[in-house]
Structures are given as structure tokens and as C-alpha cells.
């Protein structure tokens, strides 16, 4: 069987939105968004993010899905099929999941550990400020959980049971939303000082604005919506012609941004309540969710059970995203190296272990190793989100805007009816998005090399 047929059996012809939303909603929404929002000025970050999401995010997602559906190919083939000079964009887009999956699995490992921690009755310990730092500071345990997470992902992909997982997540995701709402309401009603956090999170304060707010928001947008790495192109290639690209994009966008918003609302005010809005607590970074949530659960009657259920749902959301990342890489490895599915999976598994190890050790044995002032996990995150994805996004915009021209993609989108935001799409993809992405790319590079401090 050729890989193309095998690939289509992955999400197959099951609901496109479900598969795309399963890929989009994950740690990016629940873990990454709140810590960025806390760090980059709360309300102003949220505002910038939402504006970018309904303009940039929308245009780019429509473009990617339409490219996939038009060419009926994965990113590697799609760009080549449309214009040989742009083959490299497909290649770059395929490299990005290889960089993300390993460190994604490190965080997935943290989630798994916390889930079992709640089940084992360690909630009291986990609610201590020092617990998370001590935990990731160990050499052995975080690696075991990281390997466990990537092993589960690999097994699911090897045995092709994604459909089962997607069915479970179809039920669990709405439950996750309900649970998050409950946690939000609970903390507003019971935690002193939470309202100050709500104001910080919802009210844009322009004095907190900097170019970095936009850089961070844009990187987050690509990451959260699984954009600029070919995943939506692949999904688009499975999408039936009579399904509306525009409507589906809106639905994914609303769902994805809604969950991110809710996660922020769950975490940022609680950080305020527990720290009084202390700057160092807001700037905690990747550990924020793991430090804050156990404290909330610890004040809740039945918190241990609720905490365990919550982390289980987060784990499931993380798994559906990790599966889509792995599936993309496996599909390319099968194509290019002419390998069978399971050998390709094992190869990707091995590569993930190797690439993820530095991120897992970056908080313990290799804590002193810094590249460009960053630990490995931050470095992988930075290279993929702030450098490579903007490059792919920029190239996609130039390609669609000037080489292919928006027209064929607009026509593709119109196959299922009127394309209401056609003008917005054309102007965004051709002018506004490329200019902004370029400006942002340059500023984040200048910033990290210390040439200009922004
Ligand atoms: N979008 C996923 C999330 O928010 C992460 C992801 C990125 C998944 C890229 C697949 C591809 O967690």
C-alpha cells in the first residue's frame, strides 16, 4: 500500500473539523497561552492575540487548507506541485514538527506525572511553591515520564488507533471546557485577590505593550492553531470538496481561541490571588500552570479527584496534538525512506528521544548550558515558533499572494458556496501579513542576538 493511502486512513474521511481541532487544541492552549499572557502584559497580550487570530490566523488557515485540498498532497508535495522554486517551503514546514514533538513530549511528561501525582494523593506536596522546580530539577523522573509520553504517542501511531482516541476526545473536550468553567467560577468566588487578576487579564494596559508582545502573540498563534508547519495542508488534502473552508476555519479558530482564553482565565487570576500580582510570579514561564493549578485544587473540596480528572483531560488533548505532529513526520519518513509504518515510527521515536533529552535535562543536569541565553526547551521553542514558523508563514503568503495569486485558492474556497471574507483574505495574505511577519521576524532575531533590545 502506498503511503498516501495509508496516510488517508489516519484521520481518513472522518470529520475534518474534529481532526483539525484535535490537533489545534493541546498544550499550546492550556499550558503555553496562559504563561505568555501572564508574562506579556495580560489584557494587551489577549487583545493582540485575538486581533491576530481573526485576521492573520484566519487568512493563513484558509490558505493552507485550500492549498492542501487543491493539490491533494502533503506539504512536501503540495508546494512542489504548485511551483518547483518553492519546494523548500514544504521541506522547512516538515522539519518544524520534528523540532516541536520532542519538547512537546517533555511537557506531556510533566502533565502525565501530575495526573498520577493527583491520583497518588500527593496534591498537598504539589501545591508547594518549590515542588515543580524540585521535580524538574531531578535527572531521572522527568525523563521517565517524557519517555512514557512519547512511547504512548508512538504506540497509538504504530497501531493506527487514532480514530479511537479522536472519538474519546470528542467526548472529553467538551467536558474539559465545562471543568475549566467550573474552576474559573470556583476561583473567582473563593480566592481573595482573584479579581485584580481578572482585570490584569482582560483590561488592555498599553504601557505593557512592546514589540515582544506581538512577537510572542504571533508565535503562539502559529503554534496553537497548528499553522505554518504543513499540518493544515495535510488535513486540507483530506477535506471533501463540499465542506466550507471558511466556516470550518471559523469553527476551529473559535474553539481554539476559546479554550486558550478560558485557560488564561483559569490561571492568570489565580496567580494574582496566590502572589498578589507579584511580577516574578507572573513571569514564571513554562512552569506557571504546574505551579498554580495544584494550589487551586488544594483549596477545593474533592480537589484531588478533580485535579486528576483535569490533568487526564489535558493529557488527552496533548496526545491528540502529539499524534498529529508524529503522524506528519512518520508520513514523510515513510515516503522518503521507503520504510514500513512501524519502522518509520520507531525511527521517529528514537529521534524524538535524542532531541528531547536536552530539553528534559535542561532543568537539571544541563541547567547551566545556555545557548543565546536560553535553556534547551526554550531554545527549541524559540527556533520553531519565532524563527522557522514565521519564515514558512512568510513564504506561504508570498507564494499565495504573488506566485500562485490568491484567485485559485479563493476559487477552491468558493467550491462550497460564497467566501464572505474574500477581500480580507486577499489583502491579508498579499500585503498585511507578509509585511508584519517580516518586521516581527527581524525584530525577534535582533532581540535574541542582543543587537537591539525591544
Ligand atoms: N496546536 C497544538 C497545541 O496547541 C500544538 C501543535 C503544534 C500540534 C503543531 C500540532 C502541530 O498544543
Task: Give me the mean pLDDT over the 11-18 stretch.
Answer: 58
321 lines ligand 1 (CB under 6 A): yes
Q: Is-contact 384 100, C-beta < 8 A?
A: yes
CA–CA separation, 121 and 112 (whole Å): 14
Q: What is the pLDDT of residue 184?
A: 95
Q: What is the pLDDT of residue 258?
A: 96
pLDDT of residue 118 exceeding 60: yes
- pLDDT category, 163, cuts 50, 70, 90? confident
Cα→Cα distances 254→57, 64, 261, Å: 11, 17, 10
Which element (helix H / strand E) includes 194?
helix 194-202
Q: Whose CA is nearest to atom 7 of ligand 1?
A: 226
- pLDDT category, 10, cuts 50, 70, 90? very low
Which of helix, strand or coil describes residue 14?
coil
Q: Which residue has the cell 507572573?
A: 282
- pLDDT category, 17, cuts 50, 70, 90? confident
CA–CA separation, 201 and 37 (whole Å): 7
Task: Give me the mean pLDDT over the 151-176 stretch.
Answer: 85
Residues 300-349: tens digit of each pLDDT? 999 999 999 999 999 999 999 999 899 888 988 988 899 999 999 999 99
Residues 422-447: tens digit of each pLDDT? 999 999 999 999 998 998 888 878 87
Taking alpha carbons only, the member of 248, 312, 271, 198 closest to residue 68 is 248
Q: 110-124, 210-224, 373-387 — which one is most confidently predicted on average? A: 110-124
Q: What is the pLDDT of residue 398?
A: 95
Task: Give me the mean pLDDT over the 260-287 stretch.
Answer: 91
Choose one of 74, 103, 104, 286 to mutate for the ligand 1 pocket test, by most ligand atoms within 8 angstroms of C-beta. Answer: 104
- pLDDT category, 452, cuts 50, 70, 90? low
Higher pLDDT, 17 or 417: 417
pLDDT of residue 4 exceeding 60: no
C-alpha 321 to ligand 1 mean position (Å): 5
Task: Give me the mean pLDDT over the 81-106 stretch.
Answer: 92
Choose one of 102, 325, 330 to mutate for the ligand 1 pocket test, by most ligand atoms within 8 angstroms of C-beta. Answer: 325
Q: Is-contact 211 44, C-beta < 8 A?
A: no
Q: Phi and psi dihedrals of 371, rounded to 5? A: -115, 130
Residues 220-240: tens digit of each pLDDT? 999 999 999 888 998 888 888
Higher pLDDT, 203 or 14: 203
Task: Give me the mean pLDDT over the 254-271 stretch.
Answer: 95
- pLDDT category, 15, cuts 50, 70, 90? low
Q: Is-contact 275 193, C-beta < 8 A?
A: no
Q: Which residue has the cell 501579513?
A: 433
CA–CA separation, 56 and 8 (whole Å): 28
CA–CA separation, 119 and 123 (whole Å): 9
pLDDT of residue 140 exceeding 50: yes
CA–CA separation, 217 and 53 (whole Å): 9
Q: Which residue has the cell 474552576?
A: 183
Q: Whose CA is nearest to atom 9 of ligand 1?
A: 226
Choose one of 24, 162, 380 to mutate for the ligand 1 pocket test, by most ligand atoms within 8 angstroms of C-beta. Answer: 24
Q: What is the pLDDT of residue 454?
A: 53
Cell readout for 389 is 514558523
Task: Give me the mean pLDDT over the 29-39 stretch.
Answer: 95
Residues 172-220: tens digit of each pLDDT? 888 999 999 999 999 999 999 899 999 999 999 999 998 889 988 998 9
Q: How far is CA 373 from the centre of its chain?
A: 23
Q: What is the pLDDT of residue 242?
A: 85
229 lines ligand 1 (CB under 6 A): yes
Q: What is the pLDDT of residue 257?
A: 96
C-alpha 125 to ligand 1 mean position (Å): 30
Give the length of the chain.
Answer: 454
105 lines ligand 1 (CB under 6 A): no
Q: Is-contact 140 308, C-beta < 8 A?
A: no
Amino acid at each position: 500500500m502506498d503511503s498516501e493511502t495509508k496516510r488517508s486512513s489516519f484521520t481518513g474521511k472522518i470529520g475534518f473539523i474534529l481532526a483539525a481541532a484535535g490537533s489545534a487544541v493541546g498544550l499550546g492552549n492550556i499550558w503555553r497561552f496562559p504563561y505568555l499572557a501572564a508574562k506579556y502584559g495580560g489584557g494587551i497580550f489577549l487583545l493582540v492575540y485575538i486581533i491576530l487570530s481573526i485576521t492573520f490566523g484566519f487568512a493563513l488557515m484558509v490558505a493552507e487548507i485550500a492549498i492542501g485540498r487543491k493539490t491533494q498532497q502533503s506539504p512536501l508535495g503540495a508546494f512542489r506541485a504548485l511551483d518547483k522554486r518553492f519546494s523548500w517551503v514544504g521541506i522547512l514546514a516538515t522539519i518544524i514538527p520534528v523540532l516541536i514533538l520532542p519538547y512537546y513530549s517533555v511537557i506531556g511528561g510533566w502533565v502525565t506525572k501530575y495526573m498520577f501525582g493527583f491520583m497518588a494523593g500527593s496534591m498537598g506536596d504539589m501545591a508547594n511553591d518549590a515542588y515543580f522546580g524540585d521535580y524538574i530539577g531531578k535527572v531521572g523522573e522527568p525523563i521517565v515520564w517524557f519517555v512514557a509520553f512519547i512511547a504512548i504517542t508512538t504506540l497509538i501511531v504504530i497501531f493506527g488507533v487514532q480514530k479511537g482516541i479522536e472519538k474519546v476526545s470528542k467526548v472529553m473536550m467538551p467536558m474539559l471546557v465545562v471543568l475549566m468553567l467550573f474552576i474559573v467560577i470556583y476561583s473567582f468566588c473563593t480566592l481573595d485577590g482573584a479579581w485584580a487578576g481578572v482585570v490584569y487579564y482582560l483590561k488592555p494596559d498599553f504601557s505593557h505593550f512592546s514589540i515582544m508582545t506581538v512577537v510572542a502573540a504571533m508565535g503562539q498563534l502559529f503554534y496553537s492553531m497548528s499553522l505554518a508547519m504543513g499540518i493544515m495542508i495535510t488535513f486540507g488534502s483530506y477535506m471533501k470538496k463540499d465542506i466550507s473552508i471558511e466556516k470550518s476555519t471559523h469553527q476551529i479558530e473559535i474553539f481554539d481561541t476559546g479554550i486558550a482564553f478560558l485557560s488564561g482565565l483559569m490561571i492568570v487570576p489565580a496567580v494574582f490571588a496566590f502572589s498578589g500580582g507579584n511580577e516574578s510570579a507572573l513571569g514564571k514561564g513554562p512552569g506557571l500552570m504546574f505551579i498554580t493549578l495544584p494550589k487551586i485544587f488544594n483549596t477545593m473540596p474533592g480537589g484531588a479527584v478533580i485535579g486528576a480528572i483535569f490533568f487526564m483531560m489535558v493529557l488527552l488533548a496533548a496526545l491528540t496534538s502529539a499524534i498529529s505532529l508524529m503522524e506528519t513526520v512518520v508520513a514523510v519518513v515513510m515516503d522518503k525512506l521507503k520504510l514500513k509504518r512501524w519502522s518509520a515510527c520507531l525511527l521517529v521515536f528514537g529521534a524524538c528521544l535524542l532531541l528531547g533529552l536536552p530539553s528534559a535535562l535542561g532543568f537539571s543536569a544541563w541547567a547551566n548550558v545556555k545557548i543565546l541565553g536560553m535553556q534547551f526547551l526554550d531554545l527549541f521553542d524559540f527556533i520553531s515558533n519565532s524563527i522557522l514558523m514565521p519564515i514558512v508563514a512568510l513564504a506561504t503568503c508570498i507564494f499565495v499572494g504573488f506566485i500562485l495569486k490568491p484567485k485559485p485558492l479563493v476559487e477552491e474556497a468558493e467550491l462550497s458556496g460564497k467566501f464572505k471574507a474574500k477581500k480580507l483574505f486577499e489583502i491579508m495574505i498579499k500585503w498585511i501579513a507578509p509585511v508584519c511577519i517580516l518586521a516581527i521576524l527581524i525584530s525577534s532575531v535582533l532581540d535574541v542576538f542582543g543587537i537591539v533590545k525591544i
